[in-house]
Chain A
Amino acid sequence: MPRYLVKVEGREFDIDIGYHADGFNVMVDGQNVDVKSHSIGATRSVLLVNDRSFEVDVHPNNHEEGRTVFMLGVEINAEVEQYNLAQLRKRAGMTTKSAAARNLRAPMPGLILEVKVEPGQKVARNDPLVIIEAMKMENVLKAQADVTVKSVNVARGDSVEKGDIILEFE
């Protein structure tokens, strides 16, 4: 039975999945949950959780444990870790480094208007890092976590493509 630790929007779920001919046996945080999943294409499925119906579309995102779940008209980001590895990691006092804690990528193509940090600088979650102009609007890119800036890869006036690494964190 593979067991996962899943982080979603700041919540953690311990999910144990078994598979048999008729479907899945799922335990969430030690409780049996009735789960039926019917695939409707490469990424989409109808998911019945204790008979509550959801239409979900699950896509990989930019790191191995990451999944992006589109449901109910919103985008939900999840991190799925092997449970045992997560326990080892926790015992060792390490935290997972999500992609957002490793670097800052341009979320859209645009023009760098201002870089508000320099290498070595410690920033807190939600601090403004870079201002980028796209679609005729100024967009402030903020820190997603408490991090230290390792390097700054752009300067004011540079054009960036979507996905370009703008800053790297330690």
Chain B
Amino acid sequence: MPDKIKKILIANRGEIAVRIIRGCRDLGITSVAVFSDCDRAAYHVRLADEAFHIGASPSSESYLNQDKIIDAARRSGAEAIHPGYGFLAENAVFAQRCADEGIIFIGPRPETISLLGDKLQARAAALEAGLPVVPGETIEGDDLETAISKADKVGYPILIKAAAGGGGKGMRVVHRADEFENSLQRASSEARSAFGDGRVYIEKYLERPRHIEIQILCDQHGNAIHLNERECSIQRRHQKVIEESPSPVVTPELRQRMGEAAVNIALKTGYVGAGTVEFMVAQDLSFYFLEVNTRLQVEHPVTEMVTGVDLVREQIAVAEGTQLRYTQEDIKLDGHAIECRIYAEDPQNGFAPSTGRLQHYRIPAGPGVRVDSGVVIYNEIPIYYDPMIAKLVVWGSDRAEAIARTRRALQEYRVSGLKTTIGFHLAVLASERFVKGDLSTSFLTEEYPDNKYEILDDDILRSAAIAAALDKFTHERKIALNSGDGNRRAVSLWRNHHRRDRLRKFERES
């Protein structure tokens, strides 16, 4: 039996750090948190067994600072580092650095991370492994004329994407040939400024595609399995906001074909650990390889809910060198799970970040509900990091029950002090199209072109008005009571009225 890991440093913050700390505790592993200046009172610091300060609030000086994280690992005596997602999770240099320092990096090998992190190389690997890819062309080093003829060959509409890209940056849809030159230049310059790498490639643009991905799990002994799909078509700014498993359109036969394709690329690239193979699925259900995310995904809990597999536990087991304890036949698909990402954002205002202090915070509970929250009451939401504060993950015996339970849980959520996406989720989950499962990555722009997510009926507005009026009433009354004998106001209403009137005149005149 390989040696068990006894102590893990979690090089992350927020809900994913909390998730991994919980995984460690389940296994009797000591957890080590790291934190920046503004995260001194963060939830992950409070839950961890040990915590190390690693620097100033900007992530470049803390969560992205490899020296400080390695130093914290050394000082704590952790044998392994779990990177979570984001920050250093897909950084091949960091993975290599851990290996050089004799620390286990819980994730794939550095070579695999760097191969799959490059979209062009990943695409080539997918082709080699026999996966269907979206028709496309690389245009590295081409002159404009060659690029134009390649675009014509792919056929419009096309998508221009950054080779080093992610998160929608440097991505452009081109509908007509006369827009191509301009879009190419802009995509390339955006890619250069965002990733320091101006290489772009072009792809056939699929109309109203779905985003469906396969969770994979591989050990160091050449065993690889898949854990079904997740549908993540509900996106804003090319980022997922609602995910579910299974997909409402994937049949057992399609699941098997997509799963086998995912396992094939994992085997071809010597993948180790948990990962995700992302596909675009056309309306006719033909699927195309998109990319491999070499990390634990944000939305991993929906897979955990329907398969019963604890992905963090399996990641740690794989890192220890044990063989997978599941075969493909062991992986079941039980019921339906939905995840809503709760962001500190204002959905009515283009999902602008909403920072501030959580003056009240209470998470829902009840049958089927799991909340992976990175915050607790009175926490400040810092400006430095991703504004996702929690994930609401709900299980039901079928999709309809999962939707009903998710709506119930969203209604139970209480957040005061900042705007969140809770109301947005309620609106989407009540929409006919979502309930029917008629999804695509352009769902939100099609259904809510002006960002209006209405969930407030007249009854609710009237109650809000009463609450506001009562607050004003009791506030005024309290002032009167505190400042006199209760019968007389310390300040005459007439004086107030006159003052106010003067102020208004002043305002009008100025």
In the complex, the answer to whether A47 meets B359 with C-beta atoms within 8 Å is no
Which residues 449-477 of B have a CB within 8 angstroms of A?
455-456, 458-473, 476-477
Which residues 43-94 of A have a CB within 8 angstroms of B?
43-45, 47, 49, 52, 54-59, 65, 67, 69-76, 78-80, 85, 89, 94
B387 located at the interface, meaning its Cβ lies under 8 Å from any Cβ of chain A in the complex: yes
Q: Among A2, A45, A58, A110, find the residue whose CB has the most chain B CB atoms closer than 10 A.
A: A58
| Given A74-B423, A85-B497, A15 contacting B458 (CB threshold 8 A) | no
Contacts of B464 in A (CB 8 A): 8, 56, 69, 71, 76, 78
A-B Cβ contacts below 8 A, count? 159
| Given A17-B473, A108-B355, A139-B353, A28 contacting B410 (CB threshold 8 A) | no
B64 located at the interface, meaning its Cβ lies under 8 Å from any Cβ of chain A in the complex: no
In the complex, the answer to whether B383 meets A2 with C-beta atoms within 8 Å is no
In the complex, the answer to whether B416 meets A59 with C-beta atoms within 8 Å is yes
Nearest CB of B to A156, in Å = 16
B386 located at the interface, meaning its Cβ lies under 8 Å from any Cβ of chain A in the complex: yes
| Given A72-B460, A73-B414, A33 contacting B466 (CB threshold 8 A) | yes
Contacts of A57 in B (CB 8 A): 359-360, 414, 416
In the complex, the answer to whether B383 meets A135 with C-beta atoms within 8 Å is yes
Inter-chain CA distance A26–B220, complex, in Å, is: 70
Inter-chain CA distance A54–B460, complex, in Å, is: 9
In the complex, the answer to whether A73 meets B410 with C-beta atoms within 8 Å is yes
Contact string against A for B residues 465-499, beta-carbon threshold 8 Å, 1 for contact and 0 otherwise? 11111111100110000000000000000000100
B426 to A, closest residue via Cβ:
A73
Interface size class of B (residues with CB under 8 A): 35 or more
B419 located at the interface, meaning its Cβ lies under 8 Å from any Cβ of chain A in the complex: yes
Inter-chain CA distance A80–B464, complex, in Å, is: 11
Contacts of B468 in A (CB 8 A): 6, 8, 58, 67, 69, 78-80
Nearest CB of B to A25, in Å = 11
Contacts of A145 in B (CB 8 A): none
A102 to B, closest residue via Cβ:
B507
In the complex, the answer to whether A15 meets B469 with C-beta atoms within 8 Å is yes
Interface size on A, residues (CB 8 A): 56
Q: Among B459, B465, B476, find the residue whose CB has the most chain A CB atoms closer than 10 A.
A: B465
In the complex, the answer to whether B415 meets A28 with C-beta atoms within 8 Å is no
In the complex, the answer to whether B354 meets A44 with C-beta atoms within 8 Å is no
B420 located at the interface, meaning its Cβ lies under 8 Å from any Cβ of chain A in the complex: yes
Inter-chain CA distance A89–B415, complex, in Å, is: 35
In the complex, the answer to whether B508 meets A94 with C-beta atoms within 8 Å is yes
Contacts of B416 in A (CB 8 A): 43-44, 57, 59, 70
Contacts of A108 in B (CB 8 A): 352-355, 383
Which residues 386-444 of B have a CB within 8 angstroms of A?
386-387, 410-411, 413-420, 422-423, 426
A98 located at the interface, meaning its Cβ lies under 8 Å from any Cβ of chain B in the complex: no
B175 located at the interface, meaning its Cβ lies under 8 Å from any Cβ of chain A in the complex: no
A37 located at the interface, meaning its Cβ lies under 8 Å from any Cβ of chain B in the complex: yes
In the complex, the answer to whether B466 meets A71 with C-beta atoms within 8 Å is no
In the complex, the answer to whether B472 meets A54 with C-beta atoms within 8 Å is no
Q: Among B360, B458, B459, find the residue whose CB has the most chain A CB atoms closer than 10 A.
A: B360
Nearest CB of B to A145, in Å = 14
In the complex, the answer to whether A8 meets B461 with C-beta atoms within 8 Å is yes
B504 located at the interface, meaning its Cβ lies under 8 Å from any Cβ of chain A in the complex: yes
In the complex, the answer to whether A58 meets B463 with C-beta atoms within 8 Å is no
Which residues 1-58 of A have a CB within 8 angstroms of B?
2, 4, 6, 8-9, 11, 13, 15, 17, 19, 24, 26, 28, 33, 35, 37, 43-45, 47, 49, 52, 54-58
Inter-chain CA distance A71–B417, complex, in Å, is: 11
Contacts of A15 in B (CB 8 A): 465-466, 469
Inter-chain CA distance A55–B359, complex, in Å, is: 14
A124 located at the interface, meaning its Cβ lies under 8 Å from any Cβ of chain B in the complex: no
Inter-chain CA distance A35–B426, complex, in Å, is: 27
In the complex, the answer to whether A43 meets B359 with C-beta atoms within 8 Å is yes
Contact string against A for B residues 364-403, beta-carbon threshold 8 Å, 1 for contact and 0 otherwise? 0000000000000000000111110000000000000000
B355 to A, closest residue via Cβ:
A108
Nearest CB of A to B376, in Å = 16
Contacts of A58 in B (CB 8 A): 467-468, 470-471
A125 located at the interface, meaning its Cβ lies under 8 Å from any Cβ of chain B in the complex: no
Can you list 16 A-B pairs, Cβ within 8 angstroms, ordered by A? A6-B469, A11-B458, A15-B469, A24-B470, A37-B470, A56-B464, A58-B467, A58-B468, A59-B417, A73-B415, A74-B422, A76-B464, A78-B468, A85-B500, A107-B352, A162-B355
Q: A17-B469, A94-B508 are in contact. List 6 more A-B contacts (CB 8 A).
A: A4-B469, A9-B456, A28-B466, A57-B414, A73-B422, A85-B500
